[in-house]
């Protein structure tokens, strides 16, 4: 663990590391995102709640433009949630408060990427961004989840944020504007 890691998030890192170990090597884990029901997703037909999507729906991605959703799986899980207050990642990012599972990958393209990684953009788990003022750990909650699976890694637009599959970093990202 980094010595400068975010103290509020350190108490949950062990659970995340175990989850990552269980998912390592899984293509589905590398090309999927998990969101909480009610999260609006940008699609060819406009913003739709994640739970209303079906396989074959065309989602707008940063990485490829329109891409078909391969599969959607609905589940319930007791896990930590992270709340991003409206505007916490920029003027309109997210557009309203957004709740994410704590280990969901987020694409950041602001001063945080530069400060944390020395890069103009970076993909980080939501818990790494907790500051307890604008981005808060909401604790353990029973969450209604939708896991979206794609044929390859992507960055999608959800609730006004750029949400990444676990392997969307690197060559798949277009340079920051």
- Note the pLDDT tens digit of each residue in 86-113: 878 877 778 789 999 999 999 999 888 9
Each domain of the chain, given as residue ranges in start order, spans 30-164
Residues 153 and 43: their CA atoms lie apart, in Å, by 17
Residue 9: C-alpha distances to residues 27, 60, 135, 137 (Å):
27, 31, 11, 8
Q: Which two tokens stand for residue 135?
A: 């981005």
pLDDT tens digits for 50-62?
A: 999 999 999 999 9
Domain 30-164 has CATH 3.30.565.10: no
pLDDT in tens, 108-140: 998 889 998 899 999 999 999 999 999 999 999
Using pLDDT thresholds of 50, 70 and 90, give the confidence band for residue 3: very low
Q: Give the predicted TM-score (pTM) of the model.
A: 0.79
- Residue 9 host element (H or E): helix 7-10
């Amino acid at each position: 663990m980094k010595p400068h890691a975010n103290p509020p998030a350190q108490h949950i890192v062990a659970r995340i590391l175990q989850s990552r170990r269980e998912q390592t090597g899984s293509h589905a884990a590398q090309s999927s995102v998990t969101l909480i029901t009610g999260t609006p997703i940008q699609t060819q037909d406009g913003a739709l709640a994640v739970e209303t999507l079906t396989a074959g729906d065309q989602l707008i991605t940063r990485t490829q433009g329109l891409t078909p959703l391969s599969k959607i799986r609905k589940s319930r899980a007791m896990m930590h949630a992270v709340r991003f207050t409206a505007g916490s990642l920029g003027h309109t990012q997210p557009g309203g408060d957004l709740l994410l599972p704590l280990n969901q990958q987020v694409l950041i393209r602001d001063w945080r990427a530069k400060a944390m990684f020395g890069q103009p953009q970076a993909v980080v788990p939501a818990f790494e961004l907790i500051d307890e003022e604008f981005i808060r750990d909401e604790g353990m909650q029973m969450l209604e989840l939708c896991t979206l699976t794609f044929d390859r890694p992507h960055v999608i637009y959800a609730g006004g944020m750029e949400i990444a599959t676990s392997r969307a970093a690197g060559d798949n990202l277009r340079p920051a504007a």
